[in-house]
Every structure is written in C-alpha cells, then in structure tokens.
Amino acid sequence: MTVHFPFQHTYAALPANFFARVAPTPVAAPRLIKLNRALATHLGLDPEVLSSPEGAEILAGKRVPDGADPIAMAYAGHQFGHFVPQLGDGRAILLGEVIDADGVRRDIQLKGSGPTPFSRRGDGRAALGPVLREYIVSEAMYALGIPTTRSLAAVITGERVQRETMLPGAVLTRVASSHIRVGTFQFFAARGDTDGVRQLADHAIARHYPEAAKAERPYHALLEGVVARQADLMARWLLVGFIHGVMNTDNCSVSGETIDYGPCAFMDHYDPAQVFSSIDEMGRYAYANQPQIALWNLTRLAECLLPLLSDDKDKAIEQAQFILGEFAEKFTTAYQSGLRGKIGLFSQRDGDEALVQDLLDAMAKNQADFTLTFRRLADVALDANDDSVRAQFLDPAAFDEWAARWRQRIADEPQSATERHAAMRRVNPAFIPRNHRVEAVIQAAMNNDDYAPFEELLSVLAKPFEDQPEFADYANPPLPEQRVLQTFCGT
C-alpha cells in the first residue's frame, strides 16, 4: 500500500545551517494508538491508509514516506532565564509541509522519533505518558478555540525508554502552522548572523504575516504581528485557567500558537500563583506571571531583530520598545473583554474591571473552582438559583455579596436572561482536561494497555461547551485524594 503525503519543503529549502538532515530511527513494533481522522482529512491525507500497518510505520518513524525530506531544526533559547546558544530538535523530526483544506501550510513533525545532532546525549525518544498528555491537551485547546499545535496521531513503538524507570516508548505526530520559535531567531542572533536572522524573518513573514511584506517597514510589522498574537494568546490561556509550565523562548512560537505541552496543566481552584511544573521551583511561569513572561520572551525576539529595524542601534531600540509597549494594552483589552464575557456582560462600563476582579479575589480566598464557578454562573443568569455557584466557595456569603452587585449590573443591559445564558455558555466550558483525569488515562494505558479511558476523555473534551449529562463526572474537580499537584516535562 502506498502512503502518499503531498509534501512541500519551504523550510528545508533554507540554508544548511538552519537544520540538520536526519532520518527517524526505526522502531521495533509500531502500533497505532490513535489517529485524528478529522484532522487527517483536513490535511488532505487518507485516514484509511494512515490506519494501515504501513501508515503506523510512517507515524512511528520506521518508514520514511515518499516525498519527505526529514530535518531537525536548529534553535537556541532562554531556559528559565538562562541562555543556551544551541538547543534544536533533539527528539523531533520535521517530515515536511502540507497545505490543508483552508489553504494553510502545516508542518508534520514526528516527536520522539530518535536522536538528532541536537540531542545532547539524549536518546531522542518519548515515553507514552507525555505523548498522551500532549495529544489530550493540545486537542482540548483546539476545541476550546485557542490557537495551538494539533495532534495527528499517537503510536506506541514496541520499545521501552529509560527514564527514572523503564517506560513504554511512543511517537506523537504533531501538526503546526510552523515550528519557528523565538529561540530560532536567537540561534542566529547569538552567532552574529544577521543574514540568517533576515532570511528567517523573511520566511516567517511569508508564512505567517504576509501582510507585513506589503508594509513600509516589514520587519517592524513582523514584530508587531507577533506581539499582537502573543498578547491575545496569553489572554486566552488565562481565561480558561491554563498554565503552560515551561514558557522558555524555545517554547514560544512566532505564529502565535500554543506549542510544547510538557508540564502543562489546568487549574482546579483559582490561585493566581498556581504552579504545577516540577522544575518551576521559583514560580517563574506561574499562572498569573504568563503575560509578563510572554513580554519578556518578545523582548528577546525584538533584540534579535534590532539590526533589521534600523542601521542606527539607538533608533532600532527605540522603535522596538515602542512596539513592545503595545503588548500590555493589547493583552489587557483582550483579557478584560474575555472576563466581561465570562460574567455575561455585553457592554463595557466603568467599574466592570473591579467587579470581575472582586469575583476573582473572592474565588482565590475561598478556593472556588475556576471552571465550574463561571460555568455555573451562566445557569444563575438564567434561573436565579445561586446554590450551584455558592457551593464552590468555602464561605458562600463571599459570593452572595458579589452576586448582588452583579445582578444590579446585568439588569442595566437589554439582553434577556436566555441570551445571557447562551452567551456565557459559549465562553465558559464545562469540561477541561483536569490533571487527575489526564493522569488516570495515562496510568490505564501504561499499566494495563487500556486506551478506552483515553478515547472517552478525548470524546468529552471535543465538546467542552456542551453539558454531556452522561459524562457529568468529568466536569467535577478532583477529590482531595485525587489532586495532582505536580506535572513533569516529557523529556
């Protein structure tokens, strides 16, 4: 059976120092765990063929498909604030690019497909747990309407990988609008390779910001575009309680997509200082810190672009600072607009920001569940029964005081209770990939080779804004003994 990918290779056509040509390392006995059939079709690929044994071999890296030009991309990065001049794809190989049904160019990358010249003594492999986590969370983010890389397939390799213990090996097929990172720009800037920075910038403009090519100052427009998309992305993360966990510059995509789901997690009870990542000991990437870290990362990108902004360094710095200065307003506008939507406001008035912040403060003080508080508030908007929201608060009176002010505010708007209820349900999910659910799925797969819980969780998360009464338990926060307090990188 012929497995055909209509590959193109615009990134592989860049100069040789942008990547290393390297083939995936064959594995013993690949077995398909999950194929994202809808995504495959959208990419112009045949799900039936990909589901075949030959398809599984390609998705595991055992067989290189016709037309592929496998490469590992070079990049650098600040990791927890410390600069590493060479990182690169240490366990990921880009097979090529396809044009999807919307006309968008997409990378198809195998993650966990063996060592590359950038592996730094690593084995280039991935364990099953992190592959399942990335599949679940990336597809949940997509269903929530948040820009993200996607998961096309997960394959178990038939081999084991050595971590703290021996674990089942797996490969994730990741789809992204590109894998260009802030760290990719840093790779060339750190070497004083201005031509490399320019070639990469031109490629990023052509791929992600074609309108910038027509601007009077294309590289300024590129930076403006990345700043705008990252500001919007941070707002979207915060509005669903998402914590990336490892926002290094090499995990910051210039396309504005969420990328690299390592120790990521969703909050249960609201806590602005919440950290799950086991390696984030100082809370650098805590929930509420994410916007300022995004700006920090964007500042590193701006530093790389300085030679392209102006021949006069002082002028280039001034121009970059002006563009970076727009981040705060763009983030705040998107975030506050989203918060107003979450509490059912259709208009913007003085005092709204304080009203929402008072709710968040009460939620933090009373350990209220972030997702359920807002979801249940939508029901209150319809039937005026507060019990389901009050139950989220250690001291229900804290909600009562706030709810009186909220009711007064929504009474000033002409929309009906039915309209408000529907609008709030569209932005307040019932279902998120809660940590204890993800962990239970991983344990069932690793310990019992049982993927039924994985399939069921994916099915529930594909419709996060629907009630799904038969799966109501998936909306519930963990019991105390079920809480997952730490998540781990997938290396």
> What are the residue numbers of the active site?
250
431 phi-psi bin (left φ>0, alpha ψ -120 to 50, beta other): beta
Reference 375, options 277, 476, 279, 243; nearest CA is: 476
> Which residue intervals of 265-346 are DSSP H helices?
290-309, 313-324, 327-342
Residue with token string 């290393």: 20
Reference 296, options 249, 332, 245, 260; nearest CA is: 249
Contact 138, 258 (CB under 8 A): yes
Distance from C-alpha of 478 to C-alpha of 403, rounded to nearest angstrom:
26
Q: Which helix (H) or strand (E) holds 163?
A: none
Q: Report DSSP letters for 421-475, one per residue.
A: HHHHHHHS-S----HHHHHHHHHHHHHH---HHHHHHHHHHTSTTS--GGGGGGG
Token digits of residue 190: 């750190």
Q: 49 vs 4, 37, 41, CA distance in Å?
A: 9, 11, 11
184 phi-psi bin (left φ>0, alpha ψ -120 to 50, beta other): alpha
Residue with token string 């600072």: 321
Q: Which helix (H) or strand (E) holds 1?
A: none
> Which residue intervals of 32-181 are DSSP H helices?
37-42, 47-50, 53-60, 128-143
Interaxial angle between packed helices 290-309 and 194-208, expressed in degrees from 0 to 180 and rounded to the nearest 10: 120
Q: 273 vs 61, 255, 284, 288, 338, CA distance in Å?
A: 40, 27, 10, 6, 20
Distance from C-alpha of 204 to C-alpha of 177, rounded to nearest angstrom:
11
Reference 263, options 488, 439, 441; nearest CA is: 488
